[in-house]
Amino acid sequence: MARIVKYRAGSGRARKKATQHLEELLVVAEAAIVRTNVTRVLEERLQRSAISDGKMSTIVPPTAAATAKRDQYEVTVVDEFIQAGGASFAFHGSVPIWERQVKHRASGSGRNPSIDVSLFNAGKSEESRIEFGYYTAVKLKSDASKLFKLRTFGVPKGVAISNYLLLWQFVKKPLTNQLANSWLQTACADASSASASGYTVQVQVTACQDVFTVAKQGSTVLQLVLAEVVDGSSQGISPATGKTET
């Protein structure tokens, strides 16, 4: 499948090794999302075929079928991310922790504050915290704020904390370099708006990839962004240059 990767200007060439590592995280996420997407599409296609061929019947009301959730659940993608990234994490000396609790609620009920995934690397004395989800400007801003607020909680002694956002969306358009550039510009603009007093949200790498769909649905592209929440005063995010991979 065709794939286009774009880097924020000034984000990677001087930090080539670090940038490659971040792109690897993006690749693992792509694999997780594509796999869950393929499974969902195939299940729906087989079910529709069975009904149309008279091999099974259905009593599902049309309104219920039309309004049913068709996107992957975030938790399913995170599960696949942990599985798909196992070899990569081990190669880099990282141990993944899913639903990483960082503090206990002082009062009230509900879940304790937690991070979707944390990667602990003893060699680097680093914990990389990652929040996942479907992309919206609001989601980008809220998750960035969450990571910043929790940055000092549950930190092991002598361990540095890095905070990342890994968000995605699907668009019904053909994959082109223009689409990839537009996606990068959107993500950078939203990241700039999501930055606040005390931290900036910096897009590190974006990707666009063709994904499997039923032919009649036309072209569908998966768009992902990996952004970092960095301590410091707010600053603008520059437009990016990019590279194309197929």
Residues 224-239 have pLDDT tens digits of 999 999 987 334 333 3
What's the mean pLDDT in 172-197? 95
pLDDT at 245: 38
Residue 179 predicted with pLDDT over 80 = yes
pLDDT 10s digits, 117-140: 999 999 999 999 999 999 999 999
Q: Cβ(115)–Cβ(78) under 8 Å?
A: no
What's the mean pLDDT in 186-197? 96
Q: Provide, rounded to the nearest whole percent, the portion of the chain with pLDDT above 90.
A: 48
What's the mean pLDDT in 16-31? 79
Identify residue 134 by its one-letter amino acid code. Y
What's the mean pLDDT in 193-219? 85
What's the domain range around 214? 3-245
Of 111-115, 120-124, 183-187, 203-207, the one with minimum mean pLDDT is 111-115
Structure tokens at 86: 């196992």
For the full predicted model, state whether its pTM sits above 0.75.
yes
pLDDT at 177: 94
Residue 106 predicted with pLDDT over 60 = yes
CA-to-CA dists, residue 155 to 120, 150, 232, angstroms: 11, 9, 19
Q: What is the domain count for the chain? A: 1
Of 33-47, 134-148, 182-196, 231-245, the one with minimum mean pLDDT is 231-245
What's the mean pLDDT in 37-48? 68
Q: Which of 34-38, 43-47, 207-211 has the highest mean pLDDT?
A: 207-211
